[in-house]
Structure 1
């Protein structure tokens, strides 16, 4: 069964995404971790992230993912700037999220 629209969604910007993944892999190598560990460490070190959910189907995957905690302190402002420049991701709060964020700030 062929789903042309799905193939288009997957391939849309594939070269750019692949180039970014390779650049991020170099950053991971610089700090001595794997690419998945870099992603998790970045999330843990990111003040915009409140919760990190891990998806592992094997114990080995979970163990590798949890080793990311050893690299949280290696996500320095310089490393974070490198990652952010490559990923080009800028989180934005929606109106509802902003209201919840403000309410949370008042209550906590």
Structure 2
């Protein structure tokens, strides 16, 4: 729609931004989200991390998030703590499944 000059200014939803935010907050409450995870920034971060964990190609994550450059998307791929440990555990599980020697030991993080 954004590329079509006629449709570019057409409203996608019949409700306002405030109403949309109320809907999103209600869904987050029902999902049990609170704190920083229950904010737009937290939702976008969770989406990015989940996409990378699911092996979605970075250029698709870039497109879905509306980033102008892959570098902008790569900045957000830098994770730490629990998320980083999740990536490491997944890598180690995959290498153990393939029977790669020396790669099945648990790494402390």
State the structure with more CA Rg: 2
TMscore range, shorter length: 0.3 to 0.5
Give the structure, 1 or 2, with the largest relative contact order (CA under 8 Å, sep 6 or more): 1
Taking structure 1 as the reference length, the TM-score comes to 0.34
More helix by share: 1
Taking structure 2 as the reference length, the TM-score comes to 0.33
